[in-house]
């Protein structure tokens, strides 16, 4: 067998990935059918561990909670890390496939089943011929979609557990259903937005709906605050500086036709790319909430800074682009645009030279969207994903 580490081409690695396509399908479909929410990926982690052991590897579980890491290659020299996330979302799947979710109200609607399957495929190929010039570590990460009570998601928990200590570079991928299968998208610099969240409680004074003058209507207060929040991006942020502020939920403490509610809660998200934008939005949210005081009520604002932006390192992107050019051809590489989606891979790109690859998984004639009940992928993308991870990691060594 020609060595993966002795001048085998990236195109040849893709051929090897195609040769194990049935395995990749099996991994993906098993994980898709058995999704688990953030911090609950116990059976997924067990499946990953048992699969890695079949390759003759020695994985370590319980990293960052339910995470798994495995090293492939010599102990000395540089270390490159492939990261693959494992968690699913609280969505009831509406697809009609043999591999649909068996867990009610839980679904792989963001493609993490694909990411994990590609990570396993990369391990399968690399295990047959481990690199001699360093180590490739594959980190199967929990909880990309959520944070714990301390505000930490899986990436931070694995970093704190030393899973990435000593990494020279880090590479990962994410499926994109709007991108044609067979293609990838790359971009140096900012790619995915920073993400903050906020919760607001607006306090009024309840009363009978027939005598609203005796109270302070928290719903009316909330409507004014929401309108003010909607002007933050349009009037306080430059049109040249991308930003989004979205109110994702609103609820009053009562829901009755003859009661004036005395409190309303709002929850929302903020997306941006530059730190200065964060400062402006934070201050303007406070200003918007002060409308409650003007109207005779009060407010509490809890602002949570979550992920920084995902920023791809130019040198890492250059390496991946060279691999992709050899593997799938220059015409199959698209220039990615900045996206307002957020990813806790940002904590890794903030610490290590990294490349986050956009993998095309479009199903021809069937429009699908991330985080929806009908999300699915074109499984022809699986060999490309696995090959890109393996070949990119080897090239980064």
**CATH code for the domain in which residue 289 is found:** 3.30.70.360
Mean pLDDT of 269-293: 96
Please report the pLDDT score of residue 90 as a whole number: 98
Same domain, 156 and 73: yes
Same domain, 182 and 103: yes
Same domain, 160 and 205: no
Instruction: Judge whether 276 counts as a catalytic residue.
Output: no
Same domain, 84 and 123: yes
Same domain, 93 and 145: yes
C-alpha–C-alpha distance, residues 87 and 154, integer Å: 10
3 is a domain residue: no
Same domain, 199 and 86: no
Same domain, 185 and 206: no
Dump pLDDT digits (tens) for 159-208.
999 999 999 999 999 999 999 999 999 999 999 999 999 999 999 999 99
pTM greater than 0.85 (yes/no): yes
Range of the domain at 179: 10-192+309-396
2 is a domain residue: no
| Count of domains observed in the chain | 2
Same domain, 205 and 188: no
Please report the pLDDT score of residue 187 as a whole number: 98
Instruction: Give the least confident one: 1-5, 114-118, 259-263.
Output: 1-5
Same domain, 165 and 242: no
Instruction: Judge whether 144 counts as a catalytic residue.
Output: yes
C-alpha–C-alpha distance, residues 379 and 364, integer Å: 12
307, 326, 352 - which closes a domain: 307
Query: Do 391 and 13 touch, CB atoms closer than 8 A?
Result: yes
Return the HEC string of the chain: CCCCCCCCCHHHHHHHHHHCHHHHHHHHHHHHHCCCCCCCCHHHHHHHHHHHHHCCCCCEEEECCCEEEEEEECCCCEEEEEEEECCCECCCCCCCCCCCCCCCCCECCCCHHHHHHHHHHHHHHHHHCCCCCEEEEEEEECCCCCCCCCCCCHHHHHHHCCCCCCEEEEEEEEEECCCCCCCEEECCEEEECEEEEEEEEEECECEECCCHHHCECHHHHHHHHHHHHCHHHHHHCCCCCCEEEEEEEEEECCCCCCEECCEEEEEEEEEECCHHHHHHHHHHHHHHHCHHHHCCCEEEEEEEEEECCEEECHHHHHHHHHHHHHHHCHHHEEECCCECCCCCCHHHHCCCCEEEEEEECCECCECCCCCCCCCCCCHHHHHHHHHHHHHHHHHHC
Dump pLDDT digits (tens) for 207-235.
999 999 999 999 999 999 999 999 999 99
Q: Say which of 85, 144, 217, 343 is annotated catalytic.
A: 144
Band the pLDDT of 6: cuts 50, 70, 90: low
Dump pLDDT digits (tens) for 330-363.
999 999 999 999 999 999 999 999 999 999 999 9
4 is a domain residue: no
Same domain, 28 and 148: yes
Q: Say which of 40, 41, 85, 87 is annotated catalytic.
A: 87
307, 335, 352 - which closes a domain: 307
Looking up residue 24, the CATH number of its domain turns out to be 3.40.630.10
Same domain, 52 and 129: yes
Q: At what angle do helices 10-19 and 382-396 cross, to 10 degrees?
A: 140
208 is a domain residue: yes
Query: Do 30 and 51 touch, CB atoms closer than 8 A?
Result: no
């Amino acid at each position: 067998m020609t060595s993966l580490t002795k001048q085998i081409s990236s195109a040849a690695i893709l051929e090897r990935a195609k040769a194990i396509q049935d395995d990749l399908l099996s991994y993906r479909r098993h994980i898709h059918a058995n999704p688990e929410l953030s911090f609950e990926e116990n059976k997924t982690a067990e499946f990953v561990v048992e699969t890695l052991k079949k390759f003759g590897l020695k994985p370590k579980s319980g990293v960052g909670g339910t995470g798994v890491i495995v090293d492939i290659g010599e102990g000395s020299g540089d270390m490159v890390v492939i990261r693959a996330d494992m968690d699913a979302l609280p969505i009831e799947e509406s697809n009609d496939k043999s591999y649909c979710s068996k867990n009610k109200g839980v679904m792989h609607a963001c493609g993490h089943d694909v990411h994990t399957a590609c990570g396993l495929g990369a391990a399968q190929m690399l295990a047959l011929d481990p690199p001699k010039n360093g180590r490739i570590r594959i980190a199967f990460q929990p909880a990309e979609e959520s944070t714990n009570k301390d505000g930490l998601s899986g990436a931070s928990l694995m970093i704190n557990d030393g899973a990435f200590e000593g990494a020279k570079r880090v590479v990962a991928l994410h499926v994109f259903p709007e991108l044609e299968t067979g293609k990838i998208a790359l971009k140096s610099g900012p790619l995915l937005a920073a993400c903050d969240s906020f919760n607001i409680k607006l306090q009024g004074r309840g009363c009978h709906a027939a005598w609203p003058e005796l109270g302070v209507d928290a719903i009316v207060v909330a409507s004014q605050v929401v309108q003010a929040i909607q002007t933050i991006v349009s009037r306080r942020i430059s049109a040249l500086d991308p930003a989004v502020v979205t109110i994702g939920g609103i609820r009053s403490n009562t829901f009755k036709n003859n009661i004036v509610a005395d409190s309303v809660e709002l929850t929302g998200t903020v997306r941006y790319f530059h730190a200065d934008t964060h400062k402006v939005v934070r201050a303007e949210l406070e200003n918007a909430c002060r409308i409650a005081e003007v109207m005779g009520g009060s407010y509490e604002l809890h602002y949570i800074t979550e992920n920084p932006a995902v920023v791809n390192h130019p040198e890492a992107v250059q390496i991946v682009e060279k691999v992709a050019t050899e593997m799938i051809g220059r015409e199959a590489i698209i220039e990615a645009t900045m996206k307002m989606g957020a990813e806790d891979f940002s904590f890794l790109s903030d610490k290590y030279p990294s490349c986050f690859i956009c993998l095309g998984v479009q199903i021809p004639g069937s429009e699908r969207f991330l985080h929806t009940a009908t999300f699915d992928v074109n499984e022809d993308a699986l060999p490309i994903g696995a090959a890109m991870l393996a070949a990119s990691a080897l090239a980064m060594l």
